[in-house]
Amino acid sequence: MNIIIFGPQGSGKGTQAELIARNHGLAYISTGDIFRYHIKNKTDLGQEIEKYVTVGQLVPDELTNEIVKDRIRQPDCVVGFVLDGYPRNKLQLELLNTIAEINQVIVIKLSDEEAIKRLSGRLACKCGLSYHLIFNPPKKEGICNHCGEKLFRRDDDNPQAVEKRLAIYHQETEPLFDFFKQKRILHEVDGHLAIEAVYQQIETVLGLNSKNETGLHQNS
Ligand SMILES: [Zn+2]
């Protein structure tokens, strides 16, 4: 089964995609993770990607398409995969349609107001840990629990940057939903709830947690 997870930044789609993949033995494909891997390992691709990421720009479609195409051809994707962060726009969807068939699509709905609240409260530490002013505050204000260093807000988490990313999501990603709606494989879940509750909704709409339902299909 091949699944796409859509949702604005702050909707927790990465966490949900990983949970689905882990619990159902599917490959987890996050374009963000692949970008970070190449940057960290200083590959040719990584150096190319870094040019865009460091100035806060989106990685161009041709480059992203190439990376996803290569990833989907890996052996672990044969059983199925969960896509996170792709496709982001019409061009990417067109490429995806030529290399894989998508069976289910989940959209995690979240208001802009809530997304901004969640993202602008994020704090990071040099050691790699992250915190949140409301949901996961450090024990001592502004200081990392683990290493004692001063916490900071990432540039791309400031309200203006968050609003810009949300606008791109509304303009370029949301129009893709119609394509999947027409194929009757699009499911919406409420992203305002807690992680576990959102996950339960996803399992239910995918029909993955219902043994009875499977039995019914076999009998009919
Ligand atoms: Zn730290």
Query: How would DSSP label each residue in 29-54?
Result: EEHHHHHHHHHHTT-HHHHHHHHHHT
In a domain, 215, yes or no: yes
- Rg of the chain in Å (alpha carbons): 18
Regarding predicted confidence, which is higher, 82 or 161? 82
CATH number at residue 182: 3.40.50.300
Mean pLDDT for all residues in the chain:
90
Query: How many domains, in total, are found in the chain?
Result: 1
Tell me: the pLDDT tens digits for 143-154?
A: 999 999 999 998
Question: Residues within 5 Å of ion ligand 1 by Cβ?
Answer: 125, 127, 129, 144, 146-147, 149
In a domain, 101, yes or no: yes
Residue 108 DSSP symbol: E
In a domain, 66, yes or no: yes
Local confidence band at 218 (pLDDT 50, 70, 90 cut-offs): very low
In a domain, 78, yes or no: yes
pTM of the model: 0.83
Task: Indicate which residues carry an active-site annotation.
Answer: 13, 88, 122, 154, 165
Determine how β-strand 104-109 pairs with β-strand 81-84. Answer: unpaired
Map residue 27 onto helix, strand or coil.
strand
In a domain, 34, yes or no: yes
Extract the tokens encoding 72.
């989907």
Give me the domain span that covers residue 16.
2-111+159-219
In a domain, 135, yes or no: no
| CA-to-CA dists, residue 43 to 23, 47, 64, 132, angstroms | 31, 6, 15, 32
Compute, in angstroms, the gap from residue 117 CA to the centroid of ligand 1.
23
Angle between helices 61-72 and 31-40 (to 10 degrees): 100
Local confidence band at 213 (pLDDT 50, 70, 90 cut-offs): very low
